[in-house]
Amino acid sequence: MQSNKHYVLFLLILFVGAFLVHAQEDKVVPLSIKAERDSIIAPLMPVPVQRDSIVADSLARDSINQKPPLLLDKITYKAKEYVKLSKKEHKIYLYDEAEIYYQDTELKAGIIIMDYVKNEVYAGRLKDSLGNYSQQPYFKQGANVVIPDSIRFNFDTQKALIWNSRTEQSANVGTLGSDAMKVYAELTKKENDSVYYLSEAKLTTAQDTVNPDYYIRVRKAKFVPKKKVIAGFSNLYIADVPTPIALPFAYFPLSVGRAAGVLMPSFGNDPNTGYFLQDMGYYVPLGDYADVTFTGDFYTNGSWGFRATSVYTKRYKYRGNFNFRYENQIRSQRGFSDFSLTRNYNIQMSHSQDTKASPNSRFSASVNLGSSEYFRNSLQQRNLPNTQNNTLSSSISYSKTFPAYPSVNMSVTATHSQLTSPTATTSNPDNINMTLPTFQASMERIFPFAKRDGIKKGLIQNINFQYDVNAQNRLTTNDDDFLTGRMFDNARVGARHRIPISTNFKVAKYFSMSVGGSYEDVWTLETFDQRFDSETNTVVRDTISGFDRYNQYSFSASLGTTLYGTFNFGEDKKIQAIRHVMRPQISYGYAPSFEQFYDEYINGNGEVVQFSRFQGTLNGAPRLGKSNSISFSLANTLEAKVRDKDSTKLEPKKIPILSNLNISTAYNLEADSLRLSPLNINGGTSILNNKMSINFSGGLDPYAIDNNGRRINTFNINNGGSLFRLTRANANISYSISSDMFGKKEEKENEEEEDPFDYVAQSGGRTDDLFGRADSFSDNPIDQDKKKDKDIENPIYGTKIPWSFRLAYSATYNNSARQNEFSSHSLMFSGDIELSPRWKVGGSSGYDFKNKGFTLTQLRFQRDLKSFSMRFNWTPFGQFKRWYFFIGIDASILSDLKWENRSQPIRN
């Protein structure tokens, strides 16, 4: 028994030991993470794991190694080569195209090591036998994406250490990659979802992510994705060369969408205004559909300027903008004889409504009004092209359609027209014309003797009539009285009602006959009586307030046809045929005299003077004297059929020789002399594959003139001259040519169509560039982006030099009274040349043959420095002599990182 006790004790110890071992194994229970194999085929012998630079032994322990809580969601993972689970190390190894997904976190890399006890992952690249790396880690959490060399991340605390991270932050929604901020950092510590700490970081907007042409080096920074970067000591590097441009601290906004903020100014100095700050301001978004920008200019001599700009848009509803600009300009010093103080302003507004928003009503506005001298005296370089616009015009209208039969269209319109040229304002002090407002209404054409949906035939069924009314409040004023109560002193108010009646029918099968009449009823709110005052020997004009009216009517008839003439030369000829189309028309008009609305007075010479109380009203006086005349017109078109150079095309091409050639004249049956009216000619055509357009007009008078230049009742041919005397002539020729015209056919077919730029930011400006542009070759960001996207580093043809050239000629000749002179005679030209893929030069000018001098001349130079742009604009001579230089970063997020300098216009 004694010996048996030893065996019993030994068995008891084994049993207890086995129980204790089993209990100890139950205490170390791994987390419930299922190793999902998906389509992974694990090899029998695991491939040895080649670790990256993120080996756990070399990582310093951080706060991310604190004891974490349990995972809140299931982790899914997979790998292409193999998935290895090590219970001894409490780790899972994923090799080759490894992926892990947990809640909103996504991690992809060449190799991933996951510690399921600490709930941490280590991800890195793969390295081949040649030392090349591949399968760089891709880390995405929510909308934030980081592409590092390696990363260490804790699922529970959401903290991470990231080596050589690369991320991209767009400043605005929909920003292109070239306008996004790229952030590089040697070491990044992710504190939480919204805060990152960077060490040795680079910030740039360059497209080349490997070797950026510029970057801002930041030693330490706090990075809040899509909000901001707060940096310590920062300085600018260009081509890896440090520049002296540095700041002890910096702030980089990265807000997504629109956010209020300060706009940095440009600075400089000028002999006339002193040192200045231009375009200093503040931007404020107004909800989701509008914004407003306030900017100002400040000069040390006391001058200043203020601008407010607002842009608003709502898809499928409306869009528009509003600009207000004011400049308080001081010249010289108070007390000096040349001291002057001028206050100029300009208001621009544009509003357009989507046709889908309200099919039966529409509101639109295009406003450009202000001081006549604003653009000529403006201190802003961008206003230079508008100095060539001699008229400011505006229109605000609202229209409404009532579709029920008979439909009625109504509109209310306010218009404004203002002359701005110095000669126009001098010769015409009242240089502003306005209508506040104009009311128009019209009813659709009604056929009382025919069914609405049937075919109308014959004289009776084609009888129709309409009704329309036009009422206006028209006024004329000047710059001094504009927008004051005095501008209404000479306002004229009136309305014109009109009912036209007409019908048409065929005569002798080939002739179209139209017969009609018109009745008018004219209303006014004041009339003018006239009498002769014998004491002062003057004509006194008295204003009579109150409603008054008159009516008048007329009759007309016309007969016309169309004639076709074709000259065939044969299908084997290059010019196969020429077709001539003529549309002659003869018209007759009759209107009686309305003497009942006229009175008389006897002047100081005893002569009887006839006048109407309606003279000087808005719509004038009724007709005095019977009108009885015959008019003739002939419209011509001439085109040719030419065999196409492409032998595969069977149909010939139609080429216009004369797009139109119109001739018209009239004969007055009631006149006692000079019955024949001058012969008017106008026409136009396009040649050289529509690259050149030609338009011309002229007047030929059959009567001679006396020594004083007055027409006499003698034909010019009977007075020793020709059959007709040229009294006026006008010609306009424009020509456009570019290097694309001489390119290969395949190249032209592959070229993208040019996007139309259908919006002019400053209403009243020119849409062409014959007068030049202020700061750049193209203000259209779409065009600039296309230019950036081209492979300009390695063009297809190294000798290709794109260019374009535009030419315009205009001449107006007057000889109505033997003055034999050109009232206007000028030649304008403009062109651009791309000397290299990144160099572009251009210029625009013109010569005024009448005034013997050049028009506004500009030379433009532009250099694309990849992430930078450099521009130089120069007006070498003339009234607006000046220059402008700019170099800065293209991306709007760093647009304030620039340098510009300019001269100011010379003031007399």
Distance CA 807, CA 785 (A): 28
The 3-state DSSP class for residue 867 equals coil
Residue 745 pLDDT:
53
Residue 269 pLDDT:
76
Question: Rounded to the nearest 10 degrees, how much is the dihedral formed by the CA atoms of 244, 250, 255, 261?
Answer: -100
Between residues 419 and 462, the one the model is more confident about: 462
Average of per-residue pLDDT values in the chain: 81
Smallest CA-to-CA distance from 631 within 598, 593, 594, 662 is with 662
Per-residue pLDDT of 225-249, as tens digits, reads: 878 888 889 988 888 888 888 888 8
pLDDT class of 178 with cuts at 50, 70, 90: low
Between residues 318 and 431, the one the model is more confident about: 318
The reported pTM is: 0.65
Alpha helices in 342-498 (DSSP H): 374-377, 422-427, 458-461
Residue type, 802: P
82 forms beta bridges with 95
Distance CA 287, CA 254 (A): 19
Sign, CA dihedral 707-713-718-724, equals: positive
Tokens linked to 901: 């300098």
Distance CA 884, CA 272 (A): 17
Q: Give mean pLDDT, residues 253-276.
A: 77
Residue 578 pLDDT:
93
Residue 330 pLDDT:
86
pLDDT class of 428 with cuts at 50, 70, 90: low
Per-residue pLDDT of 549-574, as tens digits, reads: 999 999 999 999 999 999 998 888 88
**Per-residue pLDDT for 481 more than 80?**
yes
Identify whether the C-beta of residue 246 lies closer than 8 Å to the C-beta of residue 236.
Answer: yes
Range with the poorest average pLDDT among 259-273, 552-566, 778-792, 828-842: 778-792
Residue 907 pLDDT:
52
What share of the chain has pLDDT > 70, as a percent? 82
Distance CA 687, CA 3 (A): 128
Listed in order, strand segments (DSSP E) in 58-175 are 76-78, 82-86, 91-102, 105-115, 120-124, 126-127, 133-134, 138-141, 144-146, 150-154, 160-169
**Per-residue pLDDT for 176 more than 60?**
no
Of 450-459, 642-651, 676-685, the range with the highest mean pLDDT is 676-685
Q: Give mean pLDDT, residues 618-629.
A: 92
DSSP 8-state symbol, 244:
E
pLDDT class of 122 with cuts at 50, 70, 90: very high
Distance CA 731, CA 825 (A): 10
Residue 273 pLDDT:
80
Cα separations (Å) of 371 from 116, 332, 432, 481, 880?
76, 22, 11, 11, 18
Q: Give mean pLDDT, residues 473-495.
A: 87
**Per-residue pLDDT for 197 more than 50?**
yes
pLDDT class of 506 with cuts at 50, 70, 90: very high
Distance CA 112, CA 214 (A): 34
Q: Give mean pLDDT, residues 281-292.
A: 90
Between residues 22 and 105, the one the model is more confident about: 105
pLDDT class of 831 with cuts at 50, 70, 90: very high
**Per-residue pLDDT for 338 more than 80?**
no
Residue 53 pLDDT:
36
Distance CA 828, CA 769 (A): 10
Phi, psi of 386 (to 5 degrees): -75, -10
Of 330-339, 426-435, 734-743, 749-758, the range with the highest mean pLDDT is 734-743
Smallest CA-to-CA distance from 367 within 327, 417, 412, 317 is with 417
3-class SS letters over 319-330: EEEEEEEEEEEE
Cα-only R_g, the chain: 41
Distance CA 378, CA 306 (A): 12
**Per-residue pLDDT for 67 more than 50?**
no
Range with the poorest average pLDDT among 149-153, 637-641, 899-903: 899-903
Smallest CA-to-CA distance from 676 within 730, 622, 731, 717 is with 717
